[in-house]
Structures are given as C-alpha cells and as structure tokens.
Amino acid sequence: MSSYLLKAPISMLLGLALIASGLLHAEPLSESKPFAEKFLLLQLSDGEAEKQNKVLSVAANLIEFYGPDAIDMEITTFGPGVRLMYADNSRRERISSLIAQGVRFTVCMNTINTIERETRTRPPLHPESIPVDVGVAHILDEVEKGYVLVRP
C-alpha cells in the first residue's frame, strides 16, 4: 500500500471503497437542468384519455412540488401511448406548458413506423416531441443512467 493511502482519512478510504464496489450511486448529469436532484421517467403506453390526463397531472404536480429546476423529467410514449404526442391532441396546451418548464416528451418511432405501415398514413406529431428509435430500449438506457421509472 502506498504511504498516501496509509495517511488518507478513513472517510476518504470508505468513499473510494463504496465507489469501487458500485454501492455509491451517482446521479445522471442533466445539461438542461444542472441543479436537478430528482431524475424521473414517466411511461405512457396506454392511449386512453384518462391515462394521458393522469400522466400530465403527475408531471405538473411534481414540477409544482419540487420546482422546475430541481426535477429532470421525461415522459416516454410508446404503443398506444404515442397518441399523446399527436399534433392534434386536445392536450397540446398542457404538453407545451410542461415543455416550457423543462419536461421532455419522447415518442417511439418504432410505434409510429408501425402505425404508418398499417394505416398508410404517418400521424403528425407535436413539433417539440423528441423521437427515439425504440421507446422501451430508451427507457432501459435512461434507467441504467440513474433515472427512476414510474408508470402512473
């Protein structure tokens, strides 16, 4: 052992051991919200109006509770849930308001491509939606980065 390690405070050695063992979990970095303390993914895979309203309400309530700078939040839509991100969705104003407060809305392009193949029409999407190749794969990647997944 080096002489530095022998002189290091026990708390530093413990911290290094925790990091090395993977027990100390680092929070994901958020370029858009550098002061965020909470990192959340809300999953929407259901196309029912009640579910869409619930997800939007949960997002609005969390922004009100934590403040827009303290929570980094994304709503990921796939399957029938992509209907939330249709350009003509009646909740467009609520979505735009949440986007203005820093909530990201991702839409599964695998689902959109399937809809286009089946209906021969590509649904127009909210202009500020963020396309991801595969919604579930995107969720897995974000959870690995440290985001918490909630399905209201």
Mean pLDDT (the chain) is: 87
Mean pLDDT confidence for 122-151: 97
Asked whether the beta carbons of 91 and 84 are under 8 A apart, the reply is yes
pLDDT at 83 over 50: yes
Choices 1.25.40.10, 3.50.50.60, 3.30.70.270, 3.40.1260.10: CATH for 26-150:
3.40.1260.10
Q: What is the pLDDT of residues 24-69, one digit of tens each?
A: 445 666 777 888 999 999 999 999 999 999 999 999 999 999 999 9
Q: Where are the alpha helices (DSSP H) in 28-146?
A: 49-66, 92-100, 109-119, 135-145
Residue 105: what residue type?
F
pLDDT per position as a tens digit, 49-59 = 999 999 999 99
Domain parsing of the chain, residue ranges: 26-150
pTM assigned to the model: 0.81
Spatial distance between the Cα atoms of 151 and 55, rounded to a whole number of angstroms:
8
Q: Say which amino acid occupies 133.
A: D
What pLDDT was estimated at residue 32?
Answer: 77
